Amino acid sequence: MKLFSGNSNRVLAESIGRYLELPIGQAMVRRFADQEIFVEIQENVRGEDVFVIQSTSYPANDHLMELLIIIDALRRASARRITAVLPYFGYARQDRKAGGRTPISAKLVANLITEAGANRVMTLDLHAGQIQGFFDIPTDNLFAVPLLARDIKEHRDLSNLMVVSPDVGGVVRARALAKRLDAPLAIVDKRRDRPGESEVMNIIGDVTDRNCILIDDIIDSGGTLCNAADALMKAGASSVSAYITHGVLSGGAASRIAASSLKELVVTDSIMATKAIRDTPNIRIVTTANLLGEAIQRTASEESVSSLFD
């Protein structure tokens, strides 16, 4: 088994390597003057079981091309099996035709990864579970809920806790967390008028004097989350914290979170944090290295991955 990494999240890749007691494979990923990407695998991978760790986060197109070219280089170097490990799968929000004459980009990206030569895909908290069906190769969608639940148990008072879904679409994820914490569930009913903007309409459930935990898979601009936190506080909540798997946090999201009514935002390291995110006092990062490392180990040894979440 060998690990390789692109440039999207080298810190996470090295943490996974430490968990597995394996070095990151020697590979050169550089750009020509016109920004074309060039990859050279600098060690023998013939007959090896290879895992390529690369989030397709900002800049998404560059990191996606890095992933495709690394996979192609490994395939041409006669690797026995290539698993694309995508802690964050970009383009996942484009999983259906949202209007006339629009693409389903998640399916296109799935095709590209498959055609590049990947034999298997491993990812974390897909925005929509059906994206697994976009791939014609085995796809493992890992869940961050057990990791987040453990952190909540270590850092929160469970006696007065309420899990809250920021929209109706996230109820399944919120219910899974609430079940693990033996906590009640509430839902924020919202209406989205334009992309990137949302208006909170109603809180389904009594959050009075509760310490609320918002749970979601992606935070981008932060507008929806901040609006939900404000609505919960107005409805009588004692405090509001949020646990999000993928901290995209684009634009001025970090400063928006800092100025919000959120007590704390906890995100995983599936996307490498910028300096602005690291410097925001109410944002904390938990690592997925052990979870991904264990899943990689089990895949390599042909053991059950789903049993990780029992």
Q: Which of 77, 60, 56 is nearest to 121 (CA)?
A: 56
CATH for 31: 3.40.50.2020
Residues 178 and 236 in one domain: yes
In the 3-class helix/strand/coil scheme, how is 93-151 assigned residue by residue? CCCCCCCCCCCCHHHHHHHHHHHHCCCEEEEECCCCHHHHHHCCCCEEEECCHHHHHHH
**DSSP SS3 for 167:** coil
| 223 is an annotated ligand-binding site residue | yes
Distance, CA of 84 to CA of 109 (rounded, Å): 12
| 127 is an annotated ligand-binding site residue | yes
Residues 272 and 257 in one domain: yes
pLDDT tens for the chain, 310 residues: list them. 999 999 999 999 999 999 999 999 999 999 999 999 999 999 999 999 999 999 999 999 999 999 999 999 999 999 999 999 999 999 999 999 989 999 999 999 999 999 999 999 999 999 988 999 999 999 999 999 999 999 999 999 898 999 999 988 899 999 999 999 999 999 998 766 666 555 667 899 999 999 999 999 999 999 889 989 999 999 999 999 999 999 999 989 999 999 999 999 999 999 999 999 999 999 999 999 999 999 999 999 999 999 998 7
Residues 46 and 119 in one domain: yes
| 25 is an annotated ligand-binding site residue | no
Residues 248 and 125 in one domain: no
Distance, CA of 217 to CA of 125 (rounded, Å): 6
Which residue out of 97, 107, 190, 234 is catalytically annotated? 190
Is-contact 276 248, C-beta < 8 A?
Answer: no
Q: How many domains does the chain have?
A: 2
Residues 50 and 129 in one domain: yes
Residues 19 and 137 in one domain: yes
| Tokens 């639940």 belong to residue | 149
| 35 is an annotated ligand-binding site residue | yes
| 132 is an annotated ligand-binding site residue | no
| 36 is an annotated ligand-binding site residue | yes
The boundaries of the domain holding residue 239 are: 145-287
Residues 273 and 159 in one domain: yes
Q: Is 263 a catalytic residue?
A: no
| 199 is an annotated ligand-binding site residue | no
| 220 is an annotated ligand-binding site residue | yes
Residues 83 and 123 in one domain: yes
Residues 87 and 186 in one domain: no
Residues 114 and 163 in one domain: no
Please tell me the pTM assigned to this model: 0.93
